[in-house]
Structure formats: C-alpha cells, structure tokens
Amino acid sequence: MQATFFVACCLLLVAGSDASADPGFDHSRWGKLLKAHVQEGWVDYVGFARDREELNQYLQWMSAVRPETLESWPREERLAFYLNAYNAITIERILDHYPPDGAVFFKKMRSIRTIEGVFNEIKDRVAGQDLTLDDIEHEILRKKYQEPLVHFGLVCASRSCPPLRPEPFEGVVVMKQLHQAAQEFLLDPTRGISIDDETNRVTLSKIFEWFGEDFIPRYGGGKLTERYGEKLDACLNFVSQYLPKEQKEFIQKGGYRVDFLPYDWTLNEKTPEEKKE
C-alpha cells in the first residue's frame, strides 16, 4: 500500500512538472491524437475512444498547470493553451456521450447539442480553475484576450464549425495557424462566405452574426458602415482580406444584400455512407 502510494505521488509530481514547464506547455500528446484521428477536418471519434487514456492524460496535465505558471507564459503560449483545451474538452464531451443522438431544433441528428449542459454547465479543471466550454470561449478567449481570430480555432464538434486541424496550436506559430484557419474556413462557401454576383448577394457564416462585435476594434470603420452598420462593416472588412482580388473588390464596393448561412450542428464525423464514397 505504501509503495503504491509513493509511486502514485511520483507520477503526479512528474505530470505536474511536465505540465508546468516554463515557458510553455507540451502539446505533443494532443498533436499525436489529432494526427491519428483527424483527416481533412473530419473527426474519427471511435479512434479517439480507443486512445481515451492518452486524451485523459493530456487533460490531466492541463489541469495540473498552476495559474501563476500559466500567467508567466507569453500571450501566444496562453492563447494556444486555451484553444487546445477547448478543442480537447469538446472531444471529451462527445466521447462521454457517444453517440450523441437526439433531436436538435425538432430534427433528429447526431449532435453535440443533444448533450445537456455541454457548453454552460459541465466543467473541467483547467490550470487550477473549474471551467465550462463557455467560460473558456467567452470569459477567457473573447473577453480577456480579445482576439477575434479565435473563432476560427475553436471547434464545437459541428459541421458548420471551422474544421479541426490535424495539429495542435503552438504559441510560437499560433497567430499564423489562426490566420490559416480563417482563410481555409472563409474560402469554403458552405461554411464561411458565399458570394453570388448574379443575385448581388453575400452570405456569411453565423459566426459573424453571433460574434460580429469582436471584429469592431480591429476591423471597424469604413465606407460600408452607413449601409450595413458598424458590426457587419467590421466583419466584411475582415473577410475581404482573405478573398481573391475580384471577390475582395466586390465586397468593398457594397450595394449587395447580406444574409447568413444556416448553421449545421450535425457532428463533424463522416456517416457510414460518406465513408464509402
């Protein structure tokens, strides 16, 4: 009994030491899981379930980070840490309730939305705090870091979300990764932005309807404000920087109708029929 207790304590000390290493966090375990179970944004949850212990260990390391240690890291390291935490916990939520079948908005589907309290009630310990997914997204990433690009790194396990990347976010390159994620998302007309010059219509992701105010401080102001308002003007300014020249010019000239794409909450995994294709 004493020997077992001693070994357990040693393991906790090692995990805590690894998790709190300065100047950042080792995301390689999460990276191996992503590489093994994510392909072109599609998530293999059955594969993740086989490697559940690896995921649990990664999340345990995240929980062991001391708040003062986290705050000593550069901003980019902290940003990457919370982005990875959100995405890893989301995977955990799905595995805890797999398959998440039920009704969403009166439609039967496999979706994270069928899990009661998934975003605002269920908590995980992250760097010494008990946090919900909403806490990580709204109270930390949006409120504290005020970085609008996080919306393209957070993946809520749904088809209309930005696709999950097959690599972890890393502090030294996190801003580059987020810009790449934004570009890939926006260039997908089924998710990001669709431009139809024949009908004079621009259709944006619901992300911009829900969180458009986050783009105002950095991208607000411009000739489109009178027509579309401050929030939508900022969103249009933001998306235009990632578009090909002709589409960028179309966005900047104005005079079109702006709508929002319906949000597909279906789980971001392939159905058996899609796997056969």
User: Is the pLDDT reported for residue 23 higher than 80?
Assistant: no
Q: Which pLDDT tens digit goes with each residue over 45-94? A: 999 999 999 999 999 999 999 999 999 999 999 999 999 999 999 999 99
pLDDT, averaged across the chain:
91
In angstroms, the CA 153 to CA 142 distance is 12
Q: What does the pLDDT read at residue 22?
A: 47
How much is the pLDDT for 105? 86
pTM value? 0.90
Write out the two tokens for 274: 């899609």
Query: Which tens digit of pLDDT belongs to each residue from 177-235?
Result: 999 999 999 999 999 999 999 999 999 999 999 999 999 999 998 888 888 999 999 99
Distance set, CA 109 to CA 154, 259, 276 (Å)? 22, 25, 20
Cα–Cα distance measured from residue 132 to residue 21, given in angstroms and rounded to the nearest whole number = 24
Q: 3-class DSSP state for residue 155? A: coil
Q: Which residue from 193, 201, 187, 192 is spatially nearest to 244, judged by alpha carbons? A: 187
Peptide bond into 100 cis (omega under 30): no
Residue 7 — pLDDT band, cuts 50, 70, 90? very low
| Residue 226: per-residue pLDDT | 85
R_g of the chain, CA atoms, integer Å: 20
Residue 100 pLDDT exceeds 90: yes
Beta bridge partners of 201: 196, 257
Report yes or no: 217 and 274 within 8 Å, Cβ to Cβ.
no
pLDDT in tens, 135-153: 999 999 999 999 999 999 9
Asked whether the predicted pLDDT for residue 1 surpasses 90, the reply is no
Distant-in-sequence, close-in-space partners of 53: CB < 8 Å, separation ≥ 6: none
